Structure 1
Amino acid sequence: MITPLLMTLGVALVLALLFAPFEALRWWATQGARESRETAAALRDIRRSIEVARSATLPQLDDRSCYVVYLSGVGAVDHEVSPEGEGPLLDDLRTRMPDTLLISDVYPYSPSNLPLLSGRWSSWWWRLIERWGRGRFTSVLQFLVYLRNVLQFAVSADDRYGPMYSLGVAGVIWDRLQASGYRPGCGRPVVLFGWSGGAQIALSAAWYLTGAGMPVYLLSLGGVITSDPGLDRITHVWHIKGTRDWVQGIGALFPGRWPGRSNTFWARAVDDGRITIRTVGAMGHLGRGSYLSRSRTPDGRTCREVVADTIVDILREAGLTKAPPGDSGKTP
């Protein structure tokens, strides 16, 4: 009984690996190539307008210090963030940094921003998984969501399919920024805030977003980050990690991040001082005692509060928000 089951699971995993790039390839074949040409033309116009406006003072449309775009972790199924973990953290950041605009409706595990729960032929299946996976004895079904999104993360990090995938995500972020009031050519900084696998996808998309003439930063919360070409263009990376989070350490296993390698995207960013690692104490990746949990740290704050304080302090020290300092003077 066990052997046939293991063989079935093995075949299913191999098929999943083979079909993982198909969504990015299908997007490129049906709409990606056309959209990229349109975006490239628009960016050329933007660059011309920036050159013309350099001698003049550009009017400010609002008083935002920066725009923050949040990309969820591999447990995401649609544009809505988790109400138990991500939602409270983002709400706290919005309250404490009113001078920034935080955008959180990007679904990073699809190059066309298509969620799992609607708009797909397989949406009925993912809705069943989402509903049944809430049960005490059926929560293991959520593993299928994690597996599917981890494979999309792998596509993003792949040298063959990653450029197409990342171009699609960059286009979605660009559209959401403009819909939220971002004016092309204004020079306002954009912070890509990625949790877990969302950090790598954000980093890959940064390569294209910098082409719009905007300063782009990456805020990684437990992110699995590879030696990505986006590191050559990004302004700065802040990587927040806990000492009990082994998942984020997977990024260091990619060859481009191996010690002793000097001519990689990661090594160049480190040498330039554009990567800062912030440790937030004994936190894990998921569950009790993780970044988004309400578990108490030795100083009395919850893990989520420690993370929020750290993020506010990072952006304040970088001049990206005028929010008052957090309580990060306490070490968990």
Structure 2
Amino acid sequence: MNGFPLLALLLGPVLLAEALLARHELMTYTAGWRTPATGLPQGMPYARGADPGRPPDAYVVYLDGIGKRRFRDTRDGGRLVTALIAGAPELRVLGQVQPYSPLAHPLVDRPVWEWLRHHVGLLLFLHNVMQIFVAADHRYRPLYNRAVGAQIAHQLRHAGYRPGSGTPVVLLSYSGGAQVATGAVGELDTQLGAPLLLITLGGFHNGANDLTHARHLHRLTSGGDRIERVGTWIFPQRWRLSRRSGWNRAVRAGKITVHPLDPATHVGPRSYISPEALLPDGRSHLDRTADTVIALIRAHCGAATEAATRVRQ
């Protein structure tokens, strides 16, 4: 007990500073003082997977959780993205989007943050946590949604996406990436007119974003995921009483399907993307998650193709 007041005293100023920094980046973007990054590191493709010479069945944008610090996937060393590409070569997958930076700047490319990464790693974690709450704040949410939605649209175009083509776009999000994914729906519909499918994996989001322009949202969850459960408690828009929230309107419209992935946990050796934790059928948690995601995307692509055929007829 004696250590708690000291910890609170130390973390209080840090949390305040992080909150101000998170808002500052968004305001800088909105005011036009700095322009978002548009390029990637030399030699890094905008997407991996299907041959860029022909249209893929779908484009998949992976929005990682708060561990995302660089262009390359960091939470699991890129295992989930690699598994998707190996299991579904007909997809083009983008894993480099920076969901916690309206300016599309990875933290590790900023000199101050690079020093902090080696000396005070907790601050990098707190920075992305604060960005989630900025994205969820009703005062900043429209600006944040527009900024990251534009970033995703820009990178999809560079990956070969043709607006108005009807090719499905899948926003696959982990943890706090769900806040960004649900927020990007409106901007992506405006810029690309793409059929949008959302898949959240342990999604941590406030439920306020409008999902009208999303075809469907598949919620992959587990009874052992305490972090996702906290999100359903702390955000009133996720409560059933908030009937007018974006989330509850989508529930009533039949746009939300829940897929249990028990006994997976949010993080750790038994997480959704663990290659070590095994299921009774012999698959790893990672294998099951990848198989589930691929099956959902293929079903969505088949439905989109049938709908397009009916329109042409």
Q: Provide the TM-score with structure 2 as the length reference.
A: 0.84
1:12 to 14, 36, 39: 14
The residue aligned with 1:49 is none
Q: Of residues 120, 144, 164 in structure 1, which corresponds to 2:143?
A: 164
Q: 1:96 to 1:257 in 2, by over 3 A?
A: same
- 1:220 is matched with 200
Partner of 1:98: 89
Q: Supply the distance in 2 between the matched residues of 1:163 and 1:257 (Cα, whole angstroms).
A: 18
Which residue does the alignment assign to 1:252? Answer: 232
How far off is 1:173 after superposition?
A: 0.7
Q: Aligned partner of 2:240: which letter?
A: P
Output the aligned Cα RMSD. Answer: 2.3
- For the pair 1:128 / 2:103, whether they are aligned, the reply is no
Using the TM superposition, name which of 229-238 and 277-286 deviates more. Answer: 229-238
Runs of 4+ with >3 A deviation? 1-6, 128-132
Q: Quote the residue 1:45 is aligned against.
A: none
Whether 2:75 is the aligned partner of 1:73: answer no
Give SS of 1:243's match. Answer: coil
Distance 1:16 1:129 in 2: 13
Distance, in Å, in 1 between the alignment partners of 2:266 and 2:182 is 19
Unaligned runs of 5+ in 1: 36-60, 133-140, 323-332
TM-score by length of 1: 0.79
2:249 corresponds in structure 1 to 268
Aligned in 2, Cα 1:129/1:286: closer, same or farther, shift over 3 Å?
A: farther
Cα separation, 1, equivalents of 2:213 and 2:33: 26
Q: Give 1:234 deviation, angstroms.
A: 1.4
- Letter of the 2:59 partner, please give it: Y
Cα drift, residue 320 of structure 1: 5.3
The match for 2:179 is 200
- The answer to whether 1:186 aligns with 2:178 is no
Change in 2 beyond 3 A, CA 1:86/1:163: farther
Q: State how far apart, in whole Å, the 2-side matches of 1:248 and 1:236 are.
A: 19
Q: Which of the pair has more CA radius of gyration?
A: 1
Specify the alignment match of 1:240 in structure 2: 220
Deviations 1:254-293 (A, max 9, x none): 1111123322211110111101111111011111100111
Distance of 2:149 and 2:8 partners within structure 1? 38
